[in-house]
Amino acid sequence: MVRTKKDQIVEFKCIRNGNGEAEMRRILNDEGELYGKGRLFNHAILAPGRSIGEHTHIGDNEIFYFLSGGGLYNDNGTVVRVYPGDTAVCNDGELHGLVNDGEEPLEFIALILY
């Protein structure tokens, strides 16, 4: 299977009561394409000033791989500056959030696994 960029589903939505909307490009469309191992595999873009609100993962974990831009990642209450090439992991029962405090879009891959 090859899914071209023009065939990706793109959503703009506020994530976990964050500031503004995130652009979410689905790399895989649903749980069926992840064979029941996860529920989300997206290319996400946060414009400057936008954020993903702090939230706790229950029954799954989320991995962010940062592609471009930079921002502040809340890792269980510890705020860490993230850069392209960094990876952040929020395990089951842990809290995280993300803020683009820069002047360019913050792009990352988001993967949620069970």
Question: What DSSP designation does 77 have?
Answer: T
Can you list the domains of the chain with their CATH numbers? 39-114 (2.60.120.10)
pLDDT tens figures, 11-34: 999 999 999 999 999 999 776 899
Average pLDDT estimate for 72-83: 98
* C-alpha dihedral (67, 98, 77, 110), degrees to nearest 10: -60
The pLDDT score that the predictor gives to residue 31 is: 67
Average pLDDT estimate for 81-94: 98
First to last CA, the chain: 23
The pLDDT score that the predictor gives to residue 59 is: 97
pLDDT tens figures, 31-74: 689 999 999 999 999 999 999 999 999 999 999 999 999 999 99
**104 has a pLDDT exceeding 80:** yes
* Cα–Cα dist 91/2, whole Å: 30
The pLDDT score that the predictor gives to residue 32 is: 86
- Low-confidence winner among 26-30, 73-77, 86-90 (lowest mean pLDDT): 26-30
The pLDDT score that the predictor gives to residue 1 is: 86
